[in-house]
Amino acid sequence: MNQPEMPSTVPAEISSDPLAPLFFPRAVAVVGASAVPGKRGYKAVQGLIEAGYRGAIYPIHPREEMILGRRCYRSVSEIAGEVDLAMICTPAAAVPGLVAECGRKGVKGVVVVAGGFRESGPDGERLEEALLEAAQRHAVRVIGPNTSGMFNLSIGLDLLGLRGIRPGHVAFISQSGNMLLSLVLEAQYHGELGFSIYVGPGNQTDLGFNDYLRFLGGEPNTRVVTMYVEGFRSGQRFLQIARGVSRHKPVVVYKSGATEAGKVAARSHTGALAGSYAMTVDLLRQAGVCLVQQSDEILPVAEGLAAWNAAPGARVAVLSDGGGQATIAVDRLVEAGLSLADLQEGTRRRLAAILPPQASLRNPIDVAGASDDNPSILAECLAILAQDDGVDALLLVGMFGGYALRFGEQLMGNEMRCAETLAEWRLKWQGKPLVIHSLYAPIKPPAVRRLREAGVPVYTSIEHAVRVLQALAERGQYLRRCAEPEAGAVSPLPEVREIFLRAVQEGRNPYEHEARAALAAHGIAVDETLLMRSPEDADAVLARFGDRPLALKIVSRDILHKSEAGGVRLGVCGREALLEAYEGILVSCRAHAPKADLHGVLVTPMAARGVEVIIGMVRDPVFGPVLMFGLGGIFVEVLNDVAFRAVPLTRDEAESMLRQLRGHKLLHGVRGLPRVDEARLVDLLLQVADFVHAYPEISELDLNPVIVHERDYVIADARFLLNPNMLPLEGEGDG
Amino acid sequence: MNQPEMPSTVPAEISSDPLAPLFFPRAVAVVGASAVPGKRGYKAVQGLIEAGYRGAIYPIHPREEMILGRRCYRSVSEIAGEVDLAMICTPAAAVPGLVAECGRKGVKGVVVVAGGFRESGPDGERLEEALLEAAQRHAVRVIGPNTSGMFNLSIGLDLLGLRGIRPGHVAFISQSGNMLLSLVLEAQYHGELGFSIYVGPGNQTDLGFNDYLRFLGGEPNTRVVTMYVEGFRSGQRFLQIARGVSRHKPVVVYKSGATEAGKVAARSHTGALAGSYAMTVDLLRQAGVCLVQQSDEILPVAEGLAAWNAAPGARVAVLSDGGGQATIAVDRLVEAGLSLADLQEGTRRRLAAILPPQASLRNPIDVAGASDDNPSILAECLAILAQDDGVDALLLVGMFGGYALRFGEQLMGNEMRCAETLAEWRLKWQGKPLVIHSLYAPIKPPAVRRLREAGVPVYTSIEHAVRVLQALAERGQYLRRCAEPEAGAVSPLPEVREIFLRAVQEGRNPYEHEARAALAAHGIAVDETLLMRSPEDADAVLARFGDRPLALKIVSRDILHKSEAGGVRLGVCGREALLEAYEGILVSCRAHAPKADLHGVLVTPMAARGVEVIIGMVRDPVFGPVLMFGLGGIFVEVLNDVAFRAVPLTRDEAESMLRQLRGHKLLHGVRGLPRVDEARLVDLLLQVADFVHAYPEISELDLNPVIVHERDYVIADARFLLNPNMLPLEGEGDG
């Protein structure tokens, strides 16, 4: 990767960004600078000097005259020139006062290292409030407190003093300072990989993940934004920003907490499954984020995405010099959802013309020893493959970089020429990523170094190489499909709001027939139901439904689990059975819950056999409204086979919810079940999304099951939970 | 890892092993030795000399007097002394003659490098036959042909000449020479990891995987046997040997072909799912093999198992110096099926006595900065944790090895003392593995080198560290449970064999009622069936089953898919319906298949609702008889959620088939389904295993579905496929 030139000023693209003075300051004060090596206030000054920061450096110290050859000041106010950024290394107690002083001096931002704020208890919380208050009063932006620090290597601004970090194009935002250390050491070992900006958000009192991501999205030295996240705060806003940034720059996130226990109690099915790691994964991917699920893949994936940004598709050509590596690569490619490109006849002919007869010309291509005395033939083969319209990306596996070591020094010139040719790949085959696996990569021979220097990623691990190809293909797919989802155009209806108001006034959630009526009012197909409130209603039921088999369900605000209360009867035929079932339900429910208010019994015709699915919505405290889709019944209960998307969502995103399920095949008609009309199901998902958008008072929604047939569906149960606080005040927002 | 001393003779443990002279030869001839650097026949001589082989080295060359300072011979027969092993580097054509000559000279084994044998076509095949014939006639054992070579570094026997490979305790058998190269380079970069024996089985004309595995199982310098396998040949024997070896020594296998397309056409459900990679995985694990599914995990896992062999359980204590690494480690541990050890009160008290108050004493334990100026405290904490009975294994994550680099050289002594203490772990806490993650591992600081030298594994990747802990725990579980499965004590019964003979004579497979009768004869509970061959049989049916709802199925040798032919009717009640259904089936089947022989209609009472499972058996061409168990219906068809085990199997292995299923929860009673009596189901699996053992003529068996209830089960369909060639000749083996 090329080292960026060190600019003396803020890049034009972000010159008006409010965070620019923090990350591209013209002068830096180090408050709490120290003359003692190893101390934070020493390291910061040392880091700035050693990294070659060209702006003014002002150590602030009560007594020292000079630190590391720089004149010390007693306080920020004593400095004559302008100061954009102050690094504050003092203990917590002094920080609010210092921030106020910085503000008076005109400092734009502070980096507060000290812990002892919110994370330490009530006293710290008060101190953090004071800090924020001082910052806001004086218009000072705050990184931290309790941050591991910040650097911007493109201008030599190194406030961490980690030393020896190479400037480059990977930005990193991390809730763990040790994760930065880990990536820095990995990059040092790598040798050619470097960083642009690092920031530890710390307590995120003022600035947080969202601000940094937005800023780095525009920062021109950053080609990929990488994050280690333990928890999101304003997740809904994060998704919005990530959507915007990832349209032009890859965003790589490692989210910890993959195995956190889910929430214990939830009243709806959707509520029980939401808030999980799986949900976070789905929502981040929806926003175009490349989610990395193994910590040792963070840097390799960042390297690959920084190099190529995206692949035009998932069809990979694999070139090998023989051996098990090609076999392993193919296994991993297929597991990763990528495919082996089918080579065109012309491509094979051109390969045949330069390769020996025993070479395998079917993908994976094996050069059959032809590279052993002429490594350059690999570059020739890759160029031929890159011209094939059916090839989206290329993977070279095997010994490249080690030919001279393995077969003799006489190959060095040839091998380096090959590396030179491949180093120009970016210019020639811009659209088609080239990823290289070399079993000699740990030894870092010259050819490997040359390739990496040119930004062509080379990996020791085939698994990492394939993971990068997967990330590139997924990103390509995202870029082709991404569109801004539109919030629903559906307005709330007075009659529906009336239903919700009545329910809230009665201190309950809507009855099932009310929920059905609300859906029906918005054109969502619900099958007809009748409410029996006395045996006499049987006439109306029979007049309407004839002798079709019927389902009867208790309607009661007090009975949540209808089956357990004996409140459900299925396959009821004829008057006698109907009356018996009606009475039976009431008797059972009274026995089960003597004090329950039994509102009536809901009657619907039995649904024909079909595929059971579940559609749900929760308002997640972090990510806002989230739609859930899954295969119902055993699938959701035993396998948790569900997909989540943030609302609003595009049609394409709704479609991807179906495809994502492990049991997707079930929608295609197996074991005598109908083949489902997926477009119809997607319509329903989008209708539900619009519906919940129109009624913020619906806090959770469960349509479970929806029984789907070849051409239509039946919503066999509908349940809404209301949040009375979200109901509009009377007269407000109706219509 | 300690370098083993170079023994001058064959280790006592294997002195009588027929392969000992090949791997511990007293003298080696290099036939086709070369004076040209880079040539194979040069590298072999060079490798032997450079690796310090102490036996005699005899280069064979038609003209040269000396090669690399060793006297050349014109032929093997010219050598005066005894020769145990000959490395043959000539082209293929000369090999059979040379093998014969070696045999006459008394050479015990040859390593044949040349390709151009079976893999190259009919001529090569004939050449390979000639080679084998010569070898067998003269009692010469053959490694290869078409092998990448062999080494035994404990005696400096290096026939590959790869140079600079460190002697150690990892043996490797690989069908890809490049995979060896890859591991060797990885180990070189690692610095402290070494190999004992390598062998490339090549075409496996004489010796193969099974022989090498057996030999290495006893070879005392080898602590772990590692394999890269593209395909098994005599898989059943391999499983037997692996079972034996893995009882005392870890066996690590990477099997390629994870994504190979399954077999296309199969007549039974089990047949369609068998032969898959998933089946191979299950069978290898059953034999105690540690199956590695990522190629970059091979060496890390081998290193960990070589160090510790096994863990007593799955409860891990995690010690960290803060940061995201502990969080990541916990995520990975839980994903890997390991658990966080619950620390005893005493353990926490003892930790509290040496750690600062802000330290977290709940697993994962965070020392809260206490190690920043005193790394040795980590060793103290680990010792306390190791004394806790609830802790089976320990994981240290974070900066260890880098304290002196990070916090100042003054810590070097302290950090090295800590490393020394941990290096003695093996002596003190033998039973409890210690695995270390260090973010400084890529830099290989002295403390990391010291630990690795002592055989304590240190990883850069948290993922690898946890993978090793998982392998150790799984191995521990295997060792606690492993037992030799006994072949079924069931003898074939004359009346059952009679059924099979009749079917074979009639050129068909058994009818369903015959299959049921065969199972019943061996005490496998089948519900009663009656065969209707005419409408008059309705009386007998009604007399027997009364007015219970019945299931009717066509019985015909010519109709495989009964439902599609209209050959199934369910829920039939009463005489009228029975007769209508009987005739209806015959009419439909005649219309569907006019020429079909309709044997009759089988009548059984409808099974009550229960959990549908499938039990099957195939005789796999590689692995022999294999039992399959899965959840039936949608689970097996949509998710392929099945488990395989080789027959015979222990009760414990049968139990593990149930636990392995993703949908295992379905057996515990969800959505109104009964909670299944698992012990009863395991009995059935073992009965089926015994049954198929007694009748080798059953080539495939499908019980699908078996409908399982709380206390019993109903085999709702049974299908056997017979292999007439496996039927005993008349009078043989009956009873």
* Best residue of B299, B331, B438 to probe chain A, by most A CBs closer than 10 Å: B331
Residue A637 clears pLDDT 80, i.e. is over it: no
Q: Which residues of B touch A439 (CB under 8 A)?
A: 178, 181-182, 185
Q: Which residue of A has its CA nearest to B466?
A: A294
Q: How far apart are the first and last CA of chain A?
A: 58
Q: Which residues of A touch B257 (CB under 8 A)?
A: 327, 331
Asked whether the beta carbons of residue B185 and residue A439 sit closer than 8 angstroms, the reply is: yes
Q: Which residues of B touch A438 (CB under 8 A)?
A: none
Give B26's DSSP letter: S
Q: Which residues of B touch A327 (CB under 8 A)?
A: 176, 230, 256-257
Q: Boundaries of CATH 3.30.1490.20 in chain B? A: 528-605
Residue A420: which pLDDT band, with cuts at 50, 70 and 90? very high
Residue A296 sits at the chain B interface (C-beta within 8 Å): yes
User: Chain B window 329-348: which residues touch A at a Cβ cutoff of 8 Å?
Assistant: 330-331, 334-335
Q: Boundaries of CATH 3.30.470.20 in chain B? A: 611-726
Asked whether the beta carbons of residue B666 and residue A634 sit closer than 8 angstroms, the reply is: yes
* Amino acid found at A305: L
Residue A60 clears pLDDT 50, i.e. is over it: yes
CATH architecture of B611-726: 2-Layer Sandwich (3.30)
User: Chain B window 255-284: which residues touch A at a Cβ cutoff of 8 Å?
Assistant: 256-259
Residue A407 sits at the chain B interface (C-beta within 8 Å): yes
Tens of pLDDT along A572-589? 888 998 999 999 999 999
Picking from A640, A633, A569, A647, the residue whose alpha carbon sits closest to that of residue A601 is A569
Residue B670 sits at the chain A interface (C-beta within 8 Å): yes
- Average pLDDT over chain A reads 92
Tens of pLDDT along B4-16? 444 457 999 999 9
User: To the nearest whole angstrom, how far is the Cα of A129 from the nearest Cα of chain B?
Assistant: 23
Residue B260: which pLDDT band, with cuts at 50, 70 and 90? low
User: To the nearest whole angstrom, how far is the Cα of A218 from the nearest Cα of chain B?
Assistant: 28
Quickly tell me which residue has 């103290």 as its tokens. Answer: B380
Residue B442 sits at the chain A interface (C-beta within 8 Å): yes
SS3 label, residue B73: strand
User: Chain B window 482-541: which residues touch A at a Cβ cutoff of 8 Å?
Assistant: none
Residue A5: which pLDDT band, with cuts at 50, 70 and 90? very low
- Average pLDDT over chain B reads 92
Helices (H) then strands (E): counts for chain A? 25, 30
Looking at residue B268, its pLDDT comes to: 61
Residue pair A543/A611 in contact by the 8 Å Cβ criterion: no
Partner residue facing B328 (CB), from A256, A328, A408: A256
Looking at residue A134, its pLDDT comes to: 97
Looking at residue B494, its pLDDT comes to: 96
Tens of pLDDT along B120-177? 889 999 999 999 999 999 999 999 999 999 999 999 999 998 888 999 999 999 999 9
CATH topology for A12-222 is Rossmann fold (3.40.50)
Q: Which residues of B touch A563 (CB under 8 A)?
A: 672
Looking at residue B313, its pLDDT comes to: 96
Partner residue facing B230 (CB), from A175, A327, A463: A327
Q: Which residue of B has its CA nearest to A668?
A: B638
Looking at residue B106, its pLDDT comes to: 96
* Best residue of A180, A181, A411, A638 to probe chain B, by most B CBs closer than 10 Å: A638
Residue B3: which pLDDT band, with cuts at 50, 70 and 90? very low
Asked whether the beta carbons of residue A259 and residue B189 sit closer than 8 angstroms, the reply is: no
Looking at residue A274, its pLDDT comes to: 67
Q: Boundaries of CATH 3.30.1490.20 in chain A? A: 494-605
Q: Which residues of B touch A178 (CB under 8 A)?
A: 321-325, 398-399, 439
Q: Boundaries of CATH 3.40.50.720 in chain A? A: 12-222
User: Chain A window 159-178: which residues touch B at a Cβ cutoff of 8 Å?
Assistant: 174-178
Looking at residue B1, its pLDDT comes to: 40
Share of chain A above pLDDT 90, in %: 79
Looking at residue A264, its pLDDT comes to: 40
Asked whether the beta carbons of residue A638 and residue B666 sit closer than 8 angstroms, the reply is: yes
User: Chain B window 558-577: which residues touch A at a Cβ cutoff of 8 Å?
Assistant: 563
User: To the nearest whole angstrom, how far is the Cα of B308 from the nearest Cα of chain A?
Assistant: 24
Average pLDDT over residues A296-316: 96
Looking at residue B634, its pLDDT comes to: 76
Give A380's DSSP letter: H
Asked whether the beta carbons of residue A440 and residue B185 sit closer than 8 angstroms, the reply is: yes
Q: Return the CATH number of the domain spanning residue range B310-481.
A: 3.40.50.261
Tens of pLDDT along B420-435? 999 999 888 878 999 9
Partner residue facing A670 (CB), from B443, B637, B665: B637
Residue pair A419/A447 in contact by the 8 Å Cβ criterion: yes
Residue A173 clears pLDDT 90, i.e. is over it: yes
Q: Return the CATH number of the domain spanning residue range A494-605.
A: 3.30.1490.20
Which is more confidently placed, B386 or B260?
B386
The three state secondary structure string of A520-565 is HHCCCCCCCCEEECCHHHHHHHHHHHCCCCEEEEEECCCCCCCCCC
What gap in Å lies between CA B383 and CA B187, rounded to an integer?
A: 29
SS3 label, residue B387: coil
* Best residue of B165, B178, B371, B704 to probe chain A, by most A CBs closer than 10 Å: B178
Q: Which residue of B has its CA nearest to A328?
A: B256
Tens of pLDDT along B61-117? 999 999 999 999 999 999 999 999 999 999 999 999 999 999 999 999 999 999 999
Strand B550-556 vs strand B598-605: parallel, antiparallel, or unpaired?
A: antiparallel
Looking at A476-490, A576-590, A644-658, which range is the least confident one?
A476-490
Picking from A393, A4, A50, A10, the residue whose alpha carbon sits closest to that of residue A171 is A4
Looking at A729-733, B515-519, B559-563, B686-690, which range is the least confident one?
A729-733
Tens of pLDDT along A651-678? 999 999 999 998 888 888 877 788 889 9
Looking at residue B534, its pLDDT comes to: 94
Asked whether the beta carbons of residue A259 and residue B174 sit closer than 8 angstroms, the reply is: no
Could you give the C-alpha distances from B558 to A688, B269, B570, B595, in angstroms and in order? Answer: 51, 18, 21, 9
Specify the CATH class of B528-605 in words: alpha beta
Average pLDDT over residues A102-131: 95
Asked whether the beta carbons of residue B323 and residue A177 sit closer than 8 angstroms, the reply is: yes
Asked whether the beta carbons of residue A259 and residue B334 sit closer than 8 angstroms, the reply is: yes
User: To the nearest whole angstrom, how far is the Cα of B502 from the nearest Cα of chain A?
Assistant: 33
Question: ∠ CA A79-A80-A86 to the nearest 5 degrees?
Answer: 40
Average pLDDT over residues A427-455: 93
User: For the residues of B293-346, what is the DSSP string, one character each?
Assistant: -SGGGHHHHHHHHHHHS--S-SEEEEEESSSHHHHHHHHHHHHTT-EEPPPPHH
Which is more confidently placed, A728 or A420?
A420
Q: Which residues of A touch B672 (CB under 8 A)?
A: 563
Which is more confidently placed, B275 or A705?
A705
How many CB pairs below 8 Å do chains A and B form together? 164
What gap in Å lies between CA A312 and CA A332, rounded to an integer?
A: 19
User: Chain B window 452-481: which residues touch A at a Cβ cutoff of 8 Å?
Assistant: 460-464
Average pLDDT over residues B371-398: 96
Looking at residue B666, its pLDDT comes to: 87
Residue pair A624/A686 in contact by the 8 Å Cβ criterion: no
Share of chain B above pLDDT 70, in %: 96
Residue B376 clears pLDDT 90, i.e. is over it: yes
Average pLDDT over residues B533-559: 92
Residue B2: which pLDDT band, with cuts at 50, 70 and 90? very low
Average pLDDT over residues A130-150: 96
